């Protein structure tokens, strides 16, 4: 990457063309936030802001907080370098850390993160300070400040954290499964060792060059703002902030950043992959399926299906724990904000002698929903669980914004909660069974299973399995 002029990552706060100081926060932290309902939230109104970015504005009259989020496209193809940007934006220099403390003292929270194929920068704070929130967002986004000492500290800390993660047995197990689910060279399958190698070679100039290159394409950016203010006022403030910080496309800009490559279509089942780990006292089992991405027509039905499977009342826990006593707990996860492919995962820890029955139990769980649709009563309960979860999120401005974020990460317009709830209500038992077939039936979907345990346990299990297979084939014949 090309070098950046030093002045790009050394800025004073506030910039010369903005107010001399941020106003003191007079927000009463003891004031209770008024809960919102879907009917009290204005519809997300989409338009283009002054630099060509797609922006969405929502009026939330009952809320005491306002929120701004910016989604900058920095794809998973740049894994290893892009992960440093959030920490650099917040703590790249002493000046930046001081500014962050000043924001916190005024009740303004700044949260950058890597989410899917985006860099997400979120700023929230007291209603009535929307102009300041926009200025803070623009400053942290377009005026990063980094020095070598803080850069090295951040890099070393990230590498140390990854090293610590590698001691978690589920990390190498999950990495092995994902390399087979997406392909070993796909960015979604990049492992911790590859990440550390990429981080170790980074320089401040390289990281800032990447960030600057992403900023040169504002028309590829998505923004959302929520506030008690009318949407017209919100847009005017955002346009003003963009103008003040001169965040526009450069006529001399370089080529766009590389996009995440598509995943290769696959069907069937793979595994179990055997991942030796001498520290384990139980076997760790992990299964991942390709799943619908956010925005897929089957996504609403998939959300309801998850309610049927997950939690202490879901089928996975009931079969694994309540009926068969194999586990103390189960885990489920969904990664849906990746534009080129999503995954749905189930995991459990079992005694070595229960590996076979646990593998069969996972298949029994998913086949139970493939072979027969849920009863109307079961479906109604699942929908109720989903709506209760959504209503709890609606109790804050940040929660309302969080409901829109998955869509924005996929470059889709956000959905109003009422609209998505209406889609949930229309889901039928047949829809659930159809989506379950798409995901869990190897004739249509693709899944990978892995087992982590000590080497001798895995070797004995594999030997027993090979001995059992001829007998099972003969029995089937």
Region class of 34: left (phi > 0), else alpha (psi between -120 and 50), else beta: beta
pLDDT at residue 37, as a whole number: 57
pLDDT at position 62 is: 85
pLDDT value at 1 more than 60: no
Helices (H), 245-354: 299-309, 315-317
pLDDT band at 42 (very low <50, low <70, confident <90, very high): confident
User: Does the bond joining 14 to the residue before it have cis omega, within 30 degrees of 0?
Assistant: yes
**Mean pLDDT value across residues 102-131:** 95
Strands 109-115 and 283-291: unpaired
Residue 473 has pLDDT above 90, yes or no: no
**Closest Cα to residue 256, out of 213, 203, 289, 313?**
213
pLDDT at 402 over 50: yes
Distance CA 5, CA 11 (A): 12
Quickly state the pLDDT bin for 470 (edges 50, 70, 90): low
- pLDDT at residue 155 in the model: 96
> What does the pLDDT average to over 19-26?
33
**What CA–CA distance (Å, rounded) separates 167 from 331?**
19
How many alpha carbons fall within 13 Å on the CB side of residue 116?
24
Please say whether the beta carbons of 223 and 54 come within 8 A: yes
Query: Would you place residue 455 in the very low, low, confident or very high pLDDT band (cuts 50, 70, 90)?
Result: very high
d(CA 430, CA 193): 44
How far is the C-alpha of 241 from the C-alpha of 70, rounded, in Å?
A: 13
Upstream peptide bond of 272 is cis (omega within 30 degrees of 0)? yes
pLDDT higher than 70, residue 182: yes
Residue 34 in 3-state DSSP? coil
3-state SS track over 194-223: HHHHHHHCCCHHHHHHHHHHHHCCHHHCEE
Spatial distance between the Cα atoms of 22 and 141, rounded to a whole number of angstroms = 17
Average pLDDT over residues 96-108: 96
Q: Give Cβ neighbours of residue 120 (< 8 Å, ≥ 6 apart).
A: 69, 70, 71, 72, 112, 113, 114, 405, 409
What is the rounded average pLDDT of the residues 222-236? 96
30 pLDDT above the threshold of 70: no
Helices (H), 297-339: 299-309, 315-317
Closest CA to 408 of 466, 339, 342: 339
pLDDT given for residue 235 in this prediction: 98
Nearest Cα residue to 271 out of 173, 370, 180, 363: 180
pLDDT (0 to 100) of residue 244 = 97
Task: Tell me the mean pLDDT in the region 371-385.
Answer: 96
Q: Residue 474 pLDDT more than 80? A: no
Average confidence (pLDDT) over 152-160: 96
Its pTM stands at 0.86
pLDDT of residue 38: 57
* Beta bridge partner(s), residue 285: 348, 451
pLDDT band at 80 (very low <50, low <70, confident <90, very high): confident
In DSSP terms, which residues pair with 47 in a beta bridge? 55
Q: Quick check: 472 pLDDT over 70? A: no
Has residue 19 got a pLDDT over 80?
no
Q: Say yes or no to pLDDT of 15 above 70.
A: no
Domains of the chain: residue spans and CATH: 11-16+36-244 (3.30.830.10), 268-476 (3.30.830.10)
- If you average pLDDT over residues 105-111, what whole number do you get? 96
Phi, psi of 65 (to 5 degrees): -120, 150
Question: What integer is the mean pLDDT of 110-125?
Answer: 94
pLDDT confidence band for 6 (50 / 70 / 90)? very low
Q: Kindly tell me if the per-residue pLDDT of 475 is higher than 60.
A: no
- Weakest-pLDDT range from 265-274, 391-400, 445-454: 391-400
The full length of the chain comes to 477
Residues 6+ apart with CB under 8 A from 318: none
The model's pLDDT over 285-320, given as tens digits with 9 standing for 90+, comes to 999 999 999 999 999 999 999 999 999 899 999 999
Distance, in Å, from the CA atom of 159 to the CA atom of 83, rounded to the nearest integer, reads 11
Q: 222-227 and 54-59: which strand pairing?
A: parallel
Do 413 and 419 meet the contact criterion of CB atoms below 8 Å apart? no
């Amino acid at each position: 990457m090309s070098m950046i002029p030093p002045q790009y990552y050394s800025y004073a706060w506030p910039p010369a063309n903005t107010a001399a100081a941020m106003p003191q926060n007079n927000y009463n932290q003891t004031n209770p936030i008024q809960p919102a309902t879907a009917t009290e939230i204005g519809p997300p109104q989409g338009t283009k802001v002054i630099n060509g970015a797609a922006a969405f504005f929502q009026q939330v009259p009952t809320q005491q907080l306002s929120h701004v989020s910016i989604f900058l496209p920095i794809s998973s193809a740049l894994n290893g370098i892009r992960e440093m940007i959030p920490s650099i934006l917040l703590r790249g220099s002493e000046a930046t850390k001081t500014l962050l403390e000043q924001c916190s003292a005024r009740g303004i929270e700044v949260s950058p993160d890597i989410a899917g194929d985006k860099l997400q920068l979120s700023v929230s704070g007291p209603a009535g300070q929307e102009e300041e929130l926009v200025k803070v967002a623009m400053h942290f986004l377009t005026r990063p400040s980094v020095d070598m000492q803080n850069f090295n500290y951040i890099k070393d800390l990230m590498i140390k954290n990854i090293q610590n993660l590698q001691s978690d047995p589920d990390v190498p197990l999950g990495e092995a499964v994902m390399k087979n689910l997406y392909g070993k060279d796909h960015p979604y399958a990049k492992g911790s060792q590859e990440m550390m190698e990429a981080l170790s070679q980074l320089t401040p100039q390289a990281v800032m060059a990447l960030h600057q290159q992403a900023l040169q394409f504002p028309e590829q950016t998505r923004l959302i703002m929520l506030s008690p203010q009318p949407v017209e006022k919100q847009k005017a403030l955002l346009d003003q902030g963009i103008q003040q910080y001169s965040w526009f496309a450069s006529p001399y800009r370089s080529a766009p950043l590389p996009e995440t490559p598509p995943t290769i279509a696959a069907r069937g089942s793979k595994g179990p992959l055997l991942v030796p780990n001498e520290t384990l006292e139980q076997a760790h089992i992990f299964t991942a399926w390709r799943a619908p991405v956010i925005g897929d027509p089957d996504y609403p039905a998939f959300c309801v299906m998850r309610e049927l499977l997950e939690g202490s009342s879901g089928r996975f826990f009931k079969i694994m724990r309540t009926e068969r006593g194999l586990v103390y707990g189960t885990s489920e996860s969904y990664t849906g904000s990746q534009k080129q492919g999503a995954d749905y995962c189930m995991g459990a820890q079992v005694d070595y002698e229960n590996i076979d029955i646990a593998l069969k139990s996972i298949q029994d769980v998913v086949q139970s929903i493939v072979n027969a649709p849920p009863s109307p009563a079961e479906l109604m309960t699942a929908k109720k669980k989903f709506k209760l979860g959504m209503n709890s999120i609606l109790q804050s401005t940040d929660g309302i914004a969080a409901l829109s974020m998955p869509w924005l990460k996929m470059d889709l317009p956000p959905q109003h909660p009422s609209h998505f709830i209406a889609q949930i209500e229309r889901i039928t038992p047949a829809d659930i069974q159809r989506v379950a077939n798409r995901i869990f039936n190897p004739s249509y979907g693709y899944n990978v299973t892995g087992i982590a345990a000590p080497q001798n346990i895995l070797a004995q299990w594999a030997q027993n399995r090979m001995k059992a297979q001829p007998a099972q084939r003969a029995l089937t014949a």
